[in-house]
A and B are shown apart, each in its own frame.
Chain A
Amino acid sequence: GEEVAQTPKHLVRGEGQKAKLYCAPIKGHSYVFWYQQVLKNEFKFLISFQNENVFDETGMPKERFSAKCLPNSPCSLEIQATKLEDSAVYFCASSPSGLAGGRYEQYFGPGTRLTVT
C-alpha cells in the first residue's frame, strides 16, 4: 500500500499479559523501524529491519520484547509479560530503497496505543 498500516489502533492489556502489534510497511520499502513514544514526546528507537533481517536492535529491551518481519506477512512487535511502563504509543515506520541508496526519510504509521493496566 501507499501508507504504513498499523493494527490494532488501541490495545489494552493487564499487567503480565502478552501484547502483539502489527505493521504493514509501504510496498517496496526495504527498511522497517519500530519506535516507542511515551507521553507524546521522547521517541525511543526499538529495532529496525532490512527486509526480513534485523538491521539494528540496540534499542530493544531483549528480555520481553521481540520483533519479526517475515516475507509476505506484516511485521510484528511482541511484548511478553507487559508491565505498566510499557504503556505508550508504538510507531512503525518504513523507508524506501534504504540507507545504501541515500533515501533516509521515514514514513510513519498512525501508531498503536498500548495501555497496560
Chain B
Amino acid sequence: SQQGEEDPQALSIQEGENATMNCSYKTSINNLQWYRQNSGRGLVHLILIRSNEREKHSGRLRVTLDTSKKSSSLLITASRAADTASYFCAAMDSNYQLIWGAGTKLIIKP
C-alpha cells in the first residue's frame, strides 16, 4: 500500500519561478528517487539520491534528503512551461521495493 506522502498535491507557478515539492516516507531506505509523469504517459526518471547523501544536483534540479526526518525535497529552478507534469517521489526500501508518493501536479503558467 502507499506509504509515501507528497506535498503540495498541486502547485501552480509562473514561468521562471522556482518550484519546490516535498516528500515524506515511513520506512528505512536505500535510496530515494524522483520521477516525472507527463499527462497520459509513462514515468521518466529524474534523479536518485542515496541514503548517505544529503544533497544532489542535476541541471535545474536539486534534491535534498533528510533521513532523520524521513523527508526529501525536489527543487526545480527557473521553471519552464515544459516542466508542467506530475512529479513522484519513490523511496526504495531494504527489499529494493519502491514505495511511491501520491505525486505533486505542477503547472507552469506562461
Contacts and interface: CB of A to CB of B under 8 A. Distances in A.
Is chain B found bound to chain A in the same assembly? yes
Interface of A: 4, 33, 40-45, 48, 55-56, 58-59, 91, 93, 99, 104-111
A115 to B, nearest CB: 14
23 contacts: A4-B42, A40-B103, A41-B86, A41-B103, A42-B100, A42-B102, A43-B90, A43-B100, A44-B2, A44-B100, A45-B97, A48-B97, A59-B97, A91-B43, A93-B43, A99-B96, A104-B31, A104-B92, A105-B33, A105-B45, A106-B98, A109-B42, A111-B41
A108 B43 contact: yes
Nearest to B47: A105
Interface of B: 1-2, 30-31, 33, 35, 41-45, 48, 86, 88, 90, 92, 95-100, 102-103
Given A56-B95, A104-B92, A105-B33, A41 B102 contact: yes
Contacts, number: 59
Grouping DSSP codes into helix (H, G, I), strand (E, B) and loop, the A interface class, with mixed when no group exceeds half, is: strand
A104 B2 contact: no
Given A42-B2, A43-B88, A104-B92, A56 B97 contact: yes
